[in-house]
Amino acid sequence: MRRTPALRRLAAETRVHPAELILPVFVREGLTEPRPIAAMPGVVQHTLDSVREVASAAAAAGLGGIMLFGVPAVRDAAGSAADDPEGILNRALTAVRAEAGDALVAQADLCLDEFTDHGHCGVLDGDGGVDNDATLARYEAIAVAQARAGAAVLGLSGMMDGQVAAVRGALDRAGHADTAILAYSAKYASAFYGPFREAVDSQLSGNRRGYQQDPANRREGVRESALDVAEGADIVMVKPASNYLDVLAEVAAASPVPTWAYQVSGEAAMIEAAATNGWIDRRGAIEESVVSIRRAGAEAVLTYFALELAGWLR
């Protein structure tokens, strides 16, 4: 059953379809043309005009969705631009919905790290630590603003305790009961987020180990996913993907809701760097990495290779 390409294709247990791929996209306020991200070859910070173009291309390629991240011109301690209707992320959401309509699922990163002048995912207390409960109030306001701007799915990536329940309640009270919640339930304090920090011009000093999960822990990821489902999550996420396939498999097996995974910036950057040096076959590595994430149980994959991979698949 391995002898020919046709036999291997017939016997394949796992397949990847463009509809299972989600493209992460960065939109930066104040740009007049897309700006390349040095640590992420082939990835750019978009303008409001170019994000319309990439949304149109994603819809034409049959992608499942586009996940938007905003990079504001001005930051403050509370991340005020995150829930400003005229903030860059909310304007980008409206632009994507206007361009692609229901042909593409518009998704928004719901977090404060891109918007705060300290780079943490929440507001800080008097001692410089993240104030979990004060942060939930900010998440509630951001969720309503993003839903009003056109987001069909909100990606709760901040890892605050109780964030799903808080956002679900705020959405329901504001008349957005149909807006779906993607909970980054098993998000680990990973070294593989490095290139992303450049992509969003992160102001972080220190680390996020106080609220993101310890890479040493597997059961914790499963437990956090179960808690988020109980609070009303419509989808749960494991992030990063490739180094956490064991966690992904357990979460997917236990979860009554869809399980997604995020092939993060560092995972993509390593493939690009090795391929540039001629050490690996780039296309083969991309295809193998994504099918491995699907094989482990992810029903959809956020990947910077989504558009290119969809073209190969089609």
Which residues are tagged catalytic?
A: 187, 239
Rounded to whole angstroms, what are the CA distances from 13 to 10, 133, 140, 256, 291? 9, 44, 41, 22, 10
65, 85 contact by CB (below 8 A): no
Q: Using the CB atoms, write b or e for 225-256: b if 16+ within 10 Å.
A: bbbbbebbbbbbbbbbbbebbebbbbbbeebe
- How far is residue 83's CA from residue 144's CA, in Å, rounded to a whole number? 8
Quote the distance between the C-alpha of residue 314 and its chain's center.
24
CA distances from 42 to 159, 272, 293 (A): 29, 9, 22
Surface-to-core class of residue 295, CB atoms within 10 Å of its CB (0-12 exposed, 13-18 middle, 19+ buried) = middle
Residues 6+ apart with CB under 8 A from 293: 241, 242, 245, 248, 261, 263, 301
For residue 62, give Cα distances in angstroms to 10, 48, 200, 286.
Answer: 23, 21, 26, 18
In this structure, the number of other CB atoms found within 10 A of the CB of residue 32 comes to: 7
E strand or H helix at 90, and its extent? helix 88-100
Instruction: For residues 200 and 79, give the distance between their C-alpha atoms in angstroms, rounded to a whole number.
Output: 14
Which tokens belong to 7? 């036999």
| DSSP three-state, residue 224 | helix
Report the alpha-carbon distance of residue 260 to residue 262 in Å, rounded.
Answer: 7
